Each structure stands twice: as structure tokens, then as C-alpha cells.
Structure 1
Amino acid sequence: MTLSQLRTFALVAKLGSLHAAAAHLGVSEPAVSTALAALRQDLGDPLFVRAHGGIALTPGGRALAEYAQDIVGLAEQARWEVSHAKTDTGRLKIVATAPFAEHAAGRLLDLFTRRVPGATVDVVVEAAEDVASLLLERAYDIALGARPPLTSTAATDVGLESAPFLRYQRVLVVAAEHPLGRLHGPVPLAQLLGRPWFAGPAGIQDSTEEGRWLASMGVAPEIVRLSSETDALAAVRAGEGTMLALGHIVRAEIRRGSLVRVPVAGTPISGLWWASTLDRRRATTMARTLQRFVSTADATAAMVAPGGSRGLERRGSKFHVALWS
């Protein structure tokens, strides 16, 4: 059994045709047949039978197809990592969901790049629903923020490994002079529906704990999406409405009395940020290093430290980590 034979079989199994696999590989159909014949003889299984102008895998063929895809993918990853070992060893391509990117990415990744010699990072912000497919396509090495939805077919097929690294709380806040600030709990959520709810560009995502909480309440407030949660909080400070703010971001203002927490049933809402990679056989070494690092005490302290810049800044068409001390 050789890598070339497995690559050929994996392609035949995927395309369902020896002719299509030969065209894709740029070889003759007899060459494909020869490779598969050697593989069938080695394994003692026909692997497939011809059917309806194509092929149908045997039970043994279906079992081999799963392994073949994994082995070929791992070989390609090894080839890429070896070829880039001298020039690109420390480069990490990160996909982040919007709230994490805005509130924690800068502090975390600044510390990571200082602690890991040679590490460099590029970050792009995407919706949680797209994360699994982006990891599958190897567009990114690791995802930080909301966990890819568990119902995602891609997440199941690929074998994502997600590790929680920061627990947060969302609280409903208004300005001290806002009428809602004088209410005593528990306040029915319906009582807040006539007021604007502000959020960042991602809104309140269905795949987050706050999204599931809102869905469980059976009501839908009017969500006004702004360019960032920072802008949303500025609108709340101005007395224009309410928002589900991160507790550690508004804690000092609540203590000072400039913001007031609205005691709605079911709040505060606890959630988690996750670090997600392909499984251990597919994740890059640097991605696994960051996945371990994010759960350390130093990383947590950096993400929740008060004051200063936390998130990302836009440079051209990409987001990059804003590295301010």
C-alpha cells in the first residue's frame, strides 16, 4: 500500500468514477486501474464494483475511504509544514467571532506573540456558523470565540476539537437616568421590548448562550446593530436604550452608578469562549500551542484586565491584532 495508491483511491471514492479520477490526476484510466488493482490485491478486498456508469464501494471500500482521506490530508499537511518550516513556522491564521475579536483578541495575542518566539498572527472576523467550514478548508489554523454550532455537519465530519478558555457573563444595562434603571426585579423581558436594544455587528448570535436565552424567552426585541459593541455601549451611556453587555467590561461603571443593571429574569447569562482547531492529527503545531496557551492564568488575566486597548484594528482589507500595551 503506497501513498500514491491511497490518493488515487480516495479520489475515485470521492468522484465515483475511474475516468473522472484519471482526468483530475492528469493520467490515463489504465494507470488508475493499475494502482487500484495493486491496492485491492494488497488488502484482499475488491473495494468497489462497477455500477450505473460509475462505481459503488464495498463495505471494505467505505472503511478504506475514510482512512485514505485522513492519510492523504495528513501527508499534504506534513508536506506543507516541512516546506514552510524555515520561513513560516510561527505564522498563525486565526478566525475570530466578533465579540471576542473586539474585547479580548488584542491583549491575548499580544501576550502570546511575546511569549512564543517567532510567532506571528493574522486575524479575520467571521460568523460562528462559518467557522467549521473555514477550518475544514484550512483557510485558518484556529478559531477563537463562539463555538462552531454543534449541529454543523462540517463540525461533525471534520472532527473539530474545541476547548473552553474564558467564561463570561452578559448583563442587561441602561444609563442611570434611563426609566428602566428604576425597575426592581425580576423584570419581565416583555417590558423591555418597546426600547431599542443595541448590539455589535454580529447582533445576538443564535449559537451563543445569550442567543439561546433570547430564543427561550419566546420574544424578539428590535436589535439595532452598530459597527462595534463599543459604539453600542456608547449609545446606552447616552440613554438611548439597552444592551446585553459583557459583565467584566461594564463592571466598573455599574459600581460607579453611571450604568445600571436591569434585573431581567434569567440574567446574567453565562457563556464561554472556545478555541477550536481540526483534530489532533490535522491541527498545526502552532495552533495547538495557542489552544493550550489561551487557557492559562496569564492569558485569562490579560483578556479581562481593565483599561487599554483589547481588540482589533482594520488595516486595508484585513483585521490585524492591535498590539498596544
Structure 2
Amino acid sequence: MTLSQLRTFALVVRLGSLRAAAKELGISEPAVSAAVAALRAELGDPLFVRAGGGIEFTPGGRRLAAHAEEIVGLADQARREVAETVLASTSLRVAATVDFSEHAADALLNAFTRRLPDCQVDLTVSEGAELADALVRRTADVVLGPRPAGGELDAVPFLRYQRIVVAAPDYPLADPAEVWRHVWLTGPAGLEELSEEGRWVSRQAVWPDLVRFPSETDAVAAARAGDGVTPALGHVVRADLRSGALVRIAVPGTPVQGLWYATVLGRGRASGPARALQEFVTTPTATAAMLAPPGVTPHVPRRPPVHVALWS
């Protein structure tokens, strides 16, 4: 059993076909078949069978897939850590939800890298439902956002927030109870199902009509212009509420209290930089940086994180 065979099989499982795995790896489909055949012969298990125009994995195949993902992730991590030793630097891969990335990630990571100036941080933007998978597959060292679903993860709460429903002062809404029948303006993620606000909305009798914008900032601007209502972060729209550009709608159940978590792999499998960030996010310095109005936190130049949108 080789690392190459495991990497190939893990990709077959993730993509659901040999052809797609071959295309992703840039090799021929027979080469993928040969790698899987070698695993079948060594393990004495067919791993998958053809079914309904696709493939269906055996119990042994599903178990191998779980181990293969972790083994491949460990190998990639080992290569990276050895390279870091040679270069005398460290790197940290952070995955965050869109709302956290937009409103708090840059300030947090700027403050963190002022403490660890040799740490190079790469930030990817992900859906909340993908955070646990990013850790298990080791494509991220630490994830920031709602608490991921899954076992053997170490999640530390670090920032409490409130979602309130706001609109322009002249927005035509006579009864707050009718807000569910109006247009709701959101960022590109809509309402994350793992977040408290997502759970709150899912408990309502009517799911509102969502109009998604490239950012929550754009959604707030549209609400300010009278185009609908938006479930905004309370501290983000505080200035608008004070100036009267927006008003809060007293929707039952609001403000929705939420928590953001810093999550790493449990059982001692997290990297040193991941643990360092997880500890840092709970400090007063980190909290002050994340909640400060734009332009207030002193900026110290650092290598900017790489933002990669993972929307499908």
C-alpha cells in the first residue's frame, strides 16, 4: 500500500468516479484503475461496486476512505513542516466562514502575526458545513466560525455576537410579525445552517425570500437604501443605528445570540501554530482587534492572507 495509491483512492471517493479522479490528478483512467486494483488485491476487499451508473462503496471501502484522507493529510503536513524547518519559518492555514472573514478575520490575523511575525497565514473562505471536512482532510489547520459538526474536534468559543434585523427608517413594514414575508438581504452565504441565526430562522413557519449580495456590507447598504431587511451583526451596524440610517425591527426572538469558535483537530493532532492561534483568539487583544471600528486598530504590515472562495 503506497501513499500514491491512497491519495488516488481518496480522490475517487471524494469525486465519485475514476474518470473524475484521473482528470484531477492529470493521469489516465487506467492508471487510476491500476492503483485501486492494487489496493483491492492487498486488502482483499472490492472497495466499491458498480451501481446505477455510478459506484457504491463497500463498508471496507468507506473505512479505507476515512483512513486514506487522514494519511494523505498527515503526509502533506509532514512535508510542509519539514520545509518550514528548512526555511526557519512557520505557516498556518486558516479556513473561515464568509461573515467572519468579512468582519473580523483580517483584524484578528493582523494582531496574531504581530505576535508571531515569522508565521505566514493563508486564509480560505468556506461554507460552515465544510469546516469539519477541511480539518479532517487537513486542508486547514484551524477553522473559524460556527462550531463544526463532527467528533474528535477541539472547539474553543471566543467571540459572542448578536444578529438583529434592521431596515431603512421609512421601510414599509407595519407589523414586525410580517417580516418573514419580506425580502431578506444577506451576504453570499445566506443563513449558515450551523449558525445560531440559521437555526433560528429554520424554526420559523415561513422561510424568508433571500437575496444574496457579494458581501454583508453590500446587503446592509441595500437595506439602508430601502430594498429590504437584513439580519446584521449588531456591532457592525451600531453607527447606522445611532445616526438613524437604519432602525432595528423588533422581530420576536431577536437579538439572536451567536458564538464564533476556533476549532482544531483534537487528541493532540493540531499543529503548534494552530494551537497558538486558538489560544490567542480568547485574549483581550484579539477581542479588541475584532470589535474595533474600521481604521481604529493600528496596522502593522505583514504578508496578506490568501483569500480563496470555495463556493461551488
Q: Shared fold by TM > 0.5?
A: yes
| One-letter amino acid of the structure 2 residue matched with residue 171 of structure 1 | I
Cα 1:84/1:194, change in 2 over 3 Å? same
| One-letter amino acid of the structure 2 residue matched with residue 220 of structure 1 | W
Tell me the residue number matched to 1:97. 97
Once the two structures are superposed, residues 167-218 of structure 1 have per-residue CA deviations (whole angstroms, 9 ceiling, x without a partner) of 00000001112233x75xxx32xx0133211000000111110011011112
Tell me the residue number matched to 1:173. 166
Structure 2 unaligned regions, length at least 5:
11-33, 48-63, 298-305
Pairs aligned (count)? 257
Tell me the residue number matched to 1:319. 307
Asked if structure 1 preserves the Cα contact closer than 8 Å seen for 2:73 and 2:137, the reply is: no
Percent of aligned pairs sharing the same letter: 44
Query: Where in structure 2 are the equivalents of 1:62-211 lying within 5 Å?
Result: 76=75, 77=77, 80-87=80-87, 89-148=89-148, 150=149, 155-156=150-151, 159-180=152-173, 187-188=176-177, 191-211=178-198
1:173 alignment partner, SS class: strand
CA distance in 1, matches of 2:252, 2:159: 24
Moved over 4 A (4+): 19-22, 50-54, 68-80
TM-score by length of 2: 0.71
Tell me the residue number matched to 1:308. 295
TM-score by length of 1: 0.69
Asked if structure 1 preserves the Cα contact closer than 8 Å seen for 2:179 and 2:251, the reply is: no
Pairing 1:260–2:247 present: yes
Pairing 1:244–2:231 present: yes
Aligned-residue offset at 1:111: 0.9
Pairing 1:298–2:282 present: no
Q: What do you get for the CA RMSD once the two structures are aligned? A: 3.6
Pairing 1:274–2:261 present: yes
Equivalent of 2:270, from 283, 302, 305? Answer: 283
Once the two structures are superposed, residues 31-62 of structure 1 have per-residue CA deviations (whole angstroms, 9 ceiling, x without a partner) of x8xxxxxxxxxxxxxxxxx98889xxxxxxxx
Tell me the residue number matched to 1:314. none
Asked if structure 2 preserves the Cα contact closer than 8 Å seen for 1:106 and 1:309, the reply is: no
With 74-83 and 119-128 compared, the bigger mean Cα shift is at: 74-83
| One-letter amino acid of the structure 2 residue matched with residue 252 of structure 1 | A
Asked if structure 2 preserves the Cα contact closer than 8 Å seen for 1:277 and 1:287, the reply is: yes
Asked if structure 2 preserves the Cα contact closer than 8 Å seen for 1:176 and 1:259, the reply is: yes
| One-letter amino acid of the structure 2 residue matched with residue 116 of structure 1 | L
Once the two structures are superposed, residues 47-102 of structure 1 have per-residue CA deviations (whole angstroms, 9 ceiling, x without a partner) of xxx98889xxxxxxxxxx9xx99997897455652343132732111111000000
| One-letter amino acid of the structure 2 residue matched with residue 229 of structure 1 | E
Bigger Rg, which one: 1
Cα 1:240/1:264, change in 2 over 3 Å? same
Asked if structure 1 preserves the Cα contact closer than 8 Å seen for 2:69 and 2:136, the reply is: no
